[in-house]
Amino acid sequence: MSEDIPFNRVLNLVPGVVDHVLPGVRRVLADNPGPFTFKGTVSYIIGRGRVAIIDPGPADAHHIAALLNAVRGETVTHIVVTHTHRDHSPSAAPIRAATGAPTYGEGPHRLSRPLFIGEAKRLDAGGDTDFVPDRRIADGDVIAGDGWALEAIATPGHTANHMAFALKGTDVLFSGDHVMGWSTSIVAPPDGSMSDYMASLDRVAARPETVYLAGHGDVIRDAPGFVARYIAHRRGREASILHRLGKGEADIASLVRAIYIGLDPRLAGAAALSTLAHLEDLTARKLVTTDGAPSISGRYRLPP
Ligand SMILES: [Zn+2]
């Protein structure tokens, strides 16, 4: 895919085995590898003794047992969710039941925009519509625990309810699926929004943290440089779309064929939705026109 970004496709973690990734932060890999999840979801444990779990992960009995085993003899005081995809939030409920800890998140799953008439829900099958946080958090809220505190940073785009969390007093940001070291993030309408996503990239780019711990993949060091490449990559994709529209390509299938050379066929649907996400954003900025609302089957052109 996008070799202009210095991706790291190594992650030497064994599912279920606790890894002390940074001072005061442990991580546990879930065994849910795949084209969208890399080696699997990475759950984080913050603090020692009285701890938070960030992104408890998919509804997988082995992963739930591994997390509970990792905090044996400790007290879980907070369960924090970056966003409501099925690989991140479903095990919040069983871990809440086992520990009594309240759950924290921006809100239940919701779409970034209303569905158009006749528009099917596509990748939104990945949404966890069961999760309802006990405590709703807003941008700037601080979740304070015993010896640690997390500042919530609203980062919509991958989903409407995505939150990143800065570990206060450190150089560390939990970036969820907003920024990941192994791949670009999926931005798929109507679940996600490219306009929101780009604004959220600018938000984290303006922040001081230099080390990111993502929902998938290894630690991102030099995060500001990485985020700058992420933004440049999206701007480059946008330029490619405008270029191909200028050449006469007018539908998403043709654009994807022209732009995504050597694409993993399993990611074809995601590439089409990502292209739609860009076209929605470009249409909103009046750089592209289409008839009616931008849709997956629409015809697109440069404005006259
Ligand atoms: Zn996600």
Tokens of 237: 């994709």
Q: What is the pLDDT of residue 115?
A: 82
Alpha carbon 194 to chain centroid, angstroms: 13
pLDDT higher at 263 or 246: 246
Q: What is the pLDDT of residue 266?
A: 86
C-alpha of residue 87 to centroid of ligand 1, in Å: 7
pLDDT higher at 118 or 210: 210
pLDDT tens, residue by residue, 40-55: 999 999 999 999 999 9
For 125-129, what is the mean pLDDT? 87
DSSP string, the chain: --TTS---------TT--EEEETTEEEEE-S--BTTTBT--EEEEESSSEEEEE---SS-HHHHHHHHHHTTTSEEEEEE-S--BTTTSTTHHHHHHHH-PPEEES-S---SSPPPTTPPP-GGGGB-TT---SEE--TT-EEE-SS-EEEEEE-TTSSTT-EEEEETTSSEEEEETTS-SSSPPP--TTT--HHHHHHHHHHHHTS---EEEESSSS-BSSHHHHHHHHHHHHHHHHHHHHHHHHHT--SHHHHHHHHSTT--GGGHHHHHHHHHHHHHHHHHTTSSEESSS--TT--EE---
For residue 123, is pLDDT > 50?
Answer: no
pLDDT tens, residue by residue, 152-205: 999 999 999 999 999 999 999 999 999 999 999 999 999 999 999 999 999 999
For residue 30, is pLDDT > 50?
Answer: yes
C-alpha of residue 188 to centroid of ligand 1, in Å: 10
pLDDT tens, residue by residue, 98-107: 999 999 999 9
C-alpha of residue 201 to centroid of ligand 1, in Å: 15
C-alpha of residue 73 to centroid of ligand 1, in Å: 31
C-alpha of residue 291 to centroid of ligand 1, in Å: 30
C-alpha of residue 69 to centroid of ligand 1, in Å: 25
For residue 74, is pLDDT > 90?
Answer: yes
For 65-71, what is the mean pLDDT? 98
* Burial (CB count within 10 angstroms: exposed 0-12, middle 13-18, buried 19+), residue 110: middle
Q: What is the pLDDT of residue 59?
A: 97
C-alpha of residue 230 to centroid of ligand 1, in Å: 17
Q: Which of 294, 292, 269, 268 is nearest to 281 (CA)?
A: 294
Tokens of 157: 């785009």
Q: What is the pLDDT of residue 119?
A: 74
For residue 2, is pLDDT > 50?
Answer: no
For residue 29, is pLDDT > 90?
Answer: yes
pLDDT tens, residue by residue, 208-243: 999 999 999 999 999 999 999 999 999 999 999 999
Q: What is the pLDDT of residue 118?
A: 67
- Scan for tokens 């807003």, then name that residue: 138
C-alpha of residue 216 to centroid of ligand 1, in Å: 9
Q: What is the pLDDT of residue 234?
A: 96
C-alpha of residue 159 to centroid of ligand 1, in Å: 7
Angle (CA) 30-58-37 rounded to 5° is 60
For 124-142, what is the mean pLDDT? 93
C-alpha of residue 111 to centroid of ligand 1, in Å: 13
Q: What is the pLDDT of residue 1?
A: 44
For 66-82, what is the mean pLDDT? 98
For residue 137, is pLDDT > 50?
Answer: yes
